[in-house]
Chain A
Amino acid sequence: MFSNEPITKDSIVTLIGPSVRVEGDLITEGDVVVEGSVIGNLRTEKNLKVGEKAKIFANIQATNAIISGEVQGNIKIKEKLELTASAKIFGDIRTKIISMAAGASLNGKCLMDDKRTKSDRPESIRQEKIELEDLPAETPTPTKSKK
């Protein structure tokens, strides 16, 4: 799951089961596994795993995270963020590396913390600069009437 330090039985410091709700600021130094619900803020120095049925209504900070459930809040990950197919994110993401499986849902901005910069666009003498426009709203396709 995480390339350097996978979550193991011994490394889990906080485990939030399905029948538990945490409200407030949960700040810890070890691995966290969430199968229940969290409201408030969730921060760990290590790894975070959010289960498929977990619901988090909180801002999240972690070093690495793998998310399979629902998160309503902003997510800040120092290293790698993995969104599985069942992940639903309503908030902004900031991370160094991101992996998104087909089916994952992200409703928010995604900012990458890597040092790579975008390339300079070369000057073109044959065509004027093209301004990218917003995508038009979906219009219903007119149906052909039967004669």
Chain B
Amino acid sequence: MYSYLYDSCLSENKYATNLARVEARLTQLGINGKINRLSFLKNIRSILTDELKRGLKNLIIVGNDQTVNQVLNLAADLDVTFGFIPLGQPQTLAKILGLPDPLAACDILAGRKIEKIDVGLVNDYYFLTSIILPGEPLILECDQSYFLTLTSNKTEVKICNLDFINGEFAKPQDGFFEIVIKEKPSSLSFFRTKQIPLSKFLVRKINLSAKKSTVIRIDQQKTLKTPVTIKIEKQKIPFIVGKDRLF
């Protein structure tokens, strides 16, 4: 049984044509189901509660990257299989999951190629792609066995689960985060051919603290303050993916 969750932005006229095509295709494939639209009055939690009572097994998210992140944060613990039909921007996840366009995503849903992917947990908040840390003095305790100290203030730190790192892609099924530390490019770096130094670590658990409370950014949308504990939940989320996925 399929249940579809539409992002609130899809009620705009510019998505009407594509949405109609998607719904027609889903009907042709025989995988149409109940449609729930997110709105000011109807939030994800209430929809999920109602759908679970109806026997929810397959939750298909229709929207952009942020829609997926919001839904997964609340639904990661549920015993359901997730799918995604990309509509709207940004669409980095669609490329990662091998979903080239909305109509192709419908066919991929029918194919039901399922892969279990890692998901991160920062305090009580699930996240899928990455966490960005500010370039301030931070202490990262990794796997309760070693500490990382940044000796430069001009650094960018990213903790990746399902995201691109310096043109490469972090593996989302290995049970590890990739901590990537880069030096922020200065104004003169355009003229230099020297590569900006990069540090990379594979870890399962991070205790993050700072001398003063620091804000971290999760999945490009949510913010939390330190101290936080970040850990990986290996292969927690079953997701319907395409054959052109990046993992």
Contacts and interface: CB of A to CB of B under 8 A. Distances in A.
A106 interface: no
Q: Is the interface of B mostly helix, strand, loop or mixed?
A: strand
B30 interface: no
Interface in A12-58: 12-28, 30, 35-36, 40
A13 B202 contact: yes
A17 B147 CA distance: 14
Contacts of A40: 146
Of the listed residues A15, A27, A28, the one surrounded by the most CB atoms of chain B closer than 10 A to its CB is A15
B183 interface: yes
B199 A17 contact: yes
Nearest to A19: B152
B152 A21 contact: no
Give the size category of B's interface with A. Answer: 10 to 19
Of the listed residues A16, A17, A22, A35, the one surrounded by the most CB atoms of chain B closer than 10 A to its CB is A17
Contacts of B200: 12-15
A43 B87 CA distance: 47
B150 A15 contact: no
Interface string B127-154: 0000000000000000001111111100
A20 B149 CA distance: 6
Given A24-B145, A25-B145, A14 B198 contact: no
A24 B207 CA distance: 14
A20 B181 contact: yes
Give the size category of A's interface with B. Answer: 20 to 34
Contact of A14 (B147, B151, B202): B202
B199 A15 contact: yes
B201 interface: yes
Nearest to B198: A17
B202 A20 contact: no
Contacts of A27: 145
Contacts of B181: 17, 19-20
Contacts of B146: 22-26, 40
B91 to A, nearest CB: 27
B206 to A, nearest CB: 13
Given A15-B201, A17-B183, A22-B149, 6 more contacts: A12-B200, A13-B202, A17-B181, A19-B197, A20-B181, A24-B145
